[in-house]
Amino acid sequence: GGVTGDMAGFAAGCYLRGVRYAQMPTTLLAAVDSSVGGKTAVDLAAGKNLAGLFHQPSIVICDTDTFQTLSPDEFANGSAEAIKTGILDSETLFSLFESGDVHANIVEIVSQCVAFKAGIVEADETETGIRKTLNLGHTAGHAIERCSGYTVPHGHAVAAGLAIIARAAETLGWAEAPISNRVERALIRNGLPIQTEFSPEALAQAALSDKKRAGGKITLVVPKQIGSCALIEIPVEQLVRPRKHRRFNPRHRFEVRRASTSHPRGACQGRNAAKDGAALGGYRRNDCLPSRVGRGYRACAGWRAGARHRARQRKPLARLRGERLDLSLSAARCLRAVQSSAVHRPRQAAGAAH
Ligand code: GLY
């Protein structure tokens, strides 16, 4: 599995400043993700994977028969990363998890995941650009792992993270509906969660205190449609510090309420949403709303339409792989959309999926 491969790879990378090694994944998760790409690491008391290096294996050998020894939960862990690859790259791969026979097509699934990841790693081995797209669902996923003290398995945390970011992308008008519905159905069908018990505030705090966060930025990978995604960088200081030119009134802190699919205004729940502090503190109401909506929270439908309108006016959301987008949306609004998605409850249709 992934832990064994990571430890062996790390040892091989350190010993004599690097000796050759082979990866032989025996779990689906290791086969579709961790055995490919040369990331190796061990955990430190301060956090997961904190001591590590890039050291490419000389060969990866995978016998998919070993997956028959996996518990359904362990198999599902790997399915989450393969579903992630489908969202990033391939409608065909994704639809196998939506309606196909995963076990009967496992060789095809592993091959597609490995081919896709190998191409990305060849282009950007050390994750300075396009490789970051492989972290789709991982911002919230890692936060869930951290909040749970690493008792939630990686694939399950990533699954909830995929559902959260798909819902947020749809809310912000960046993704085409019904992407979140499809992602939720695929995850549920493969024994994976689409929500988490942790509060949006706790998840945001965990994401911000992530020791592996690059400098002052959080990079979100946002799905736009099945087979296409974009990277969005959010400067952290925008999330933790109010802008100077406005007076900060603590009564105006913002909390996005639980999303209600039956409520015509969706995730925003009226002016009372201004009550209660957000965990990260210090947002004014106007940070969370476009100026055209004006004060208060009354026009969420207008907000969503406005977001779509503004998105159309800016850079075309063409098929982008790894290209940075400046969508000029308030960082606080991005975070709030992600947070509000984190408290989403499954829709009837998604819950009914088998
Ligand atoms: N698991 C993501 C990567 O290898 O970059």
Question: What is the 3 state secondary structure string of the chain?
Answer: CHHHHHHHHHHHHHHHHCCCCEECCCCHHHHHHHCCCCEEEEEECCEEEEEEEECCCCEECCCHHHHHHCCHHHHHHHHHHHHHHHHHHCHHHHHHHHHCCCCCCHHHHHHHHHHHHHHHHHHCCCCCCHHHHHHCCHHHHHHHHHHCCCCCCHHHHHHHHHHHHHHHHHHCCCCCCCHHHHHHHHHHHCCCCCCCCCCHHHHHHHHHCCCCCCCCEEEEEEEEECCEEEEEEEEHHHHHCCCCCCCCCHHHCCCCCCCCCCCCCCCCCCHHHHCCCCCCCCCCHHHCCCHHHCCCCCCHHHHHHHHHHHHHHCCCCCCCCCCEECCCCCHHHHHHHHHHHHCCCCCHHHHHCC
Tens of pLDDT, residue by residue over 147-199, are 999 999 999 999 999 999 999 999 888 888 899 999 999 999 999 999 999 99
Q: Which candidate in 55, 84, 132, 142 is catalytic?
A: 142
Question: Would you state the pLDDT for residue 212?
Answer: 67
Q: Is the CB of residue 33 below 6 angstroms from any atom belonging to ligand 1?
A: yes
Residue 47 has a pLDDT of 84
Residue to probe by mutation, ligand 1, list 3, 29, 32, 33, most atoms within 8 Å of CB: 33
134 Cα–ligand 1 center, Å: 6
CA distance 221 to 232: 6
Cα–ligand 1 centroid distance for 214 (angstroms): 15
CA angle at residue 180 from 1 to 334, to 5 degrees? 95
pLDDT of residue 323: 35
For residue 119, give every residue at least 6 positions away whose Cβ sits within 8 Å of its Cβ, in sequence order, or none: none
Q: Is 189 in the pocket of ligand 1 (CB under 6 A)?
A: no
Q: Do 163 and 183 contact (CB within 8 A), yes or no?
A: yes
Compute the distance from residue 125 Cα to the ligand 1 centre, in Å: 10
The predicted structure's pLDDT at residue 236: 67
The alpha carbon of 34 and the centre of ligand 1 are apart by a number of angstroms equal to 7
- C-alpha span between 132 and 81 (Å, rounded): 14
Q: Does residue 127 have an active-site annotation?
A: yes
Of the candidates 81, 145, 184, 255, the residue annotated as catalytic is: 81
Distance 268 CA to ligand 1 centre (A): 34
Asked if 258 is an active-site residue, the reply is no
Peptide bond into 178 cis (omega under 30): yes
Which positions of the chain have pLDDT values less than 70?
211-212, 214-215, 236-336, 339-340, 343-354
Minimum-distance ligand 1 atom for the alpha carbon of 135: 2
pLDDT of residue 327: 39
Catalytic site residue 154?
A: yes
Q: For ligand 1, is residue 39 a contact (CB within 6 Å)?
A: yes
**pLDDT tens-digit profile of 4-17?**
999 999 999 999 99
Specify the residue with its C-alpha closest to ligand 1, atom 3: 134
Per-residue model confidence as pLDDT tens digits over 131-155: 999 999 999 999 999 999 999 999 9
Whole-angstrom distance, CA of residue 31 vs CA of residue 115: 12
Q: What is the distance between the alpha carbons of residues 143 and 200, in angstroms, rounded to a whole number? A: 10
Are 232 and 334 spatial neighbours (Cβ–Cβ below 8 Å)?
A: yes
Q: Whose CA is nearest to atom 2 of ligand 1?
A: 134
**Closest Cα partner for 224 from 110, 119, 93, 321?**
321
Atom of ligand 1 nearest to the CA of 121: 5
Q: Which of 6, 133, 134, 219 has most ligand 1 atoms within 8 Å of its beta carbon, as the pocket-test mutant? A: 134
